[in-house]
Structure 1
């Protein structure tokens, strides 16, 4: 009687488990490769975005530095020109404010009108400001110029009080400039780069004294003053984008 032996089967044919495991491993490898590619692309996009933000930040810093330099030039040039005319004003430590002392404007206690004998000097200040602001393209770096009125700390009776008095002092100087400055020195027509009027007035009452402990008449007089505060303009996001596009095109 003949005996027949069945030929041994290959492991892969008899054990489908190994085939499915191999397929799974291949699929996992493909998924890993795809995930790695996606991650690399995302990292590249993040790096590009960070580089763009860095460029925008650097451009913003540059623009602000230029604006601050222009403001500093305007204030110190105005102070120097006024000094040459015998008009002594002071510049704040941070180069943002041109301060006009009361002895130049002559505000009496509780009064908001510039004395008649001081009006010519007040007009000279307006003329010098107009000249230095109009030079080159300086006005493009400015946002607002505030004519700020101040009082001493003695309470003023009535509803207006020190706040109203300080604002009225600023308004009186502005109206004098508006009415009597020559056409080539007019300040009321000046506009910033956004086509908004450049000058504004405000009043601080006794809240920003130059002398804290006011005792003598000289102390009170020192706090009755007008400050000209220059604020600089920040470029808009669209301007940053235009500058950034130019920078990128130049690098390509």
Structure 2
């Protein structure tokens, strides 16, 4: 009888120890999950905060330009500011900013420089793309580069005007966190129309435009890998 009681007590102790170990494992697992969630949440909150700052900058640019009688458009994501051809004078097949529109272009550059540089808010940005666009009329000039070249030259034309304007110093001085120039130019030809039905000249004119696309700094693959490695370390699964 004593022997059976001893075996029972011993078995009970083993069960209790195992349950304690399992409970401890569950607690550690829960801590791992909570820490991982906290790291991901922090990354998401940082991006959201950057997007709010970006939206505020674009709203301020739009409002200040409107106050000066210059009307630009901001897309629903608050990431793209669109400058219509009516402000820059891009005729079909042309990439030169009309002389009568030069002062308007300079004013836009000055306002963009002032707003983006204010309180170092540009630090939330990765790049500001000056994007040129055309209508769907094919153009074979510009050394055979066609609409791609035409749209790129439109973006370059605007940037060159800005380089000669009052906001040039500020624009050139702005750098991303990686130390690269914040502004860059690109062209998309007719591939991104805002008015798909281009059966009228008015519709075509809407697509001859410059977009300023503001991109925010986002977590990199290395950032995400670090979170995964951190989780693996907490799980004890590292080599």
**Shorter-chain TM-score category?**
0.7 to 0.9
Per the TM alignment, residue 86 of structure 1 is displaced from its structure 2 partner at its CA by: 1.2
Structure 1's 155 and 55: CA in aligned 2 closer, same or farther, altered over 3 A?
A: same
Q: Which runs of 5+ in 1 are unaligned?
A: 1-11, 13-17, 242-252
Residue 50 in structure 1 maps to residue 33 in structure 2: yes
- CA shift for structure 1 position 133: 0.5
* TM value normalised by structure 2: 0.83
Instruction: Tell me if 1:228 matches 2:212.
Output: yes
1:200-211, aligned counterparts within 5 Å?
200-211=184-195
Question: How far is 1:60 from its partner?
Answer: 2.5
Return 5+ residue gaps in structure 2 as ranges: 228-239
**1:176 is the counterpart of 2:174:** no
Residue pair 1:63, 1:235 contacting (<8 A) in 2 also? no
Provide closer, same or farther for how the CA distance between residues 108 and 230 of structure 1 changes in structure 2, counting only shifts above 3 A: same
Tell me, in whole angstroms, the C-alpha distance in 1 between the residues paired with 2:182 and 2:216. 11
Contact 1:148 1:201 in 2 (8 A): yes
Q: State the partner residue of 2:84.
A: 101
Shift of 1:100: 0.3
Kept in 2, the 8 Å contact 1:127–1:185? The answer is: no
2:20 is aligned with 1:37: yes
State whether residues 57 and 115 of structure 2, in contact with CA within 8 Å, keep that contact through their aligned partners in structure 1.
yes
Whole-angstrom distance in 1 between the partners of 2:10 and 2:100:
94
- Match for 1:153 among 136, 144, 149? 136
Larger-Rg structure: 1
Q: Hey, what does 2:152 align to over in structure 1?
A: 167
Cα pair distance change 1:75/1:183, threshold 3 Å = closer
Alignment of 1:49-128 (within 5 A): 49-128=32-111
Secondary structure of residue in 2 paired with 1:128? helix
| Mapped contact 1:71–1:95 kept (Cα < 8 A) | yes
Offset at residue 29 of structure 1 (A): 4.1
| Distance in 1, Cα, partners of 2:186 & 2:81 | 15
Cα distance, 1:52 vs structure 2: 1.1
**Corresponding residue for 1:135?**
118
Deviations 1:28-51 (A, max 9, x none): 444433332322221111111111
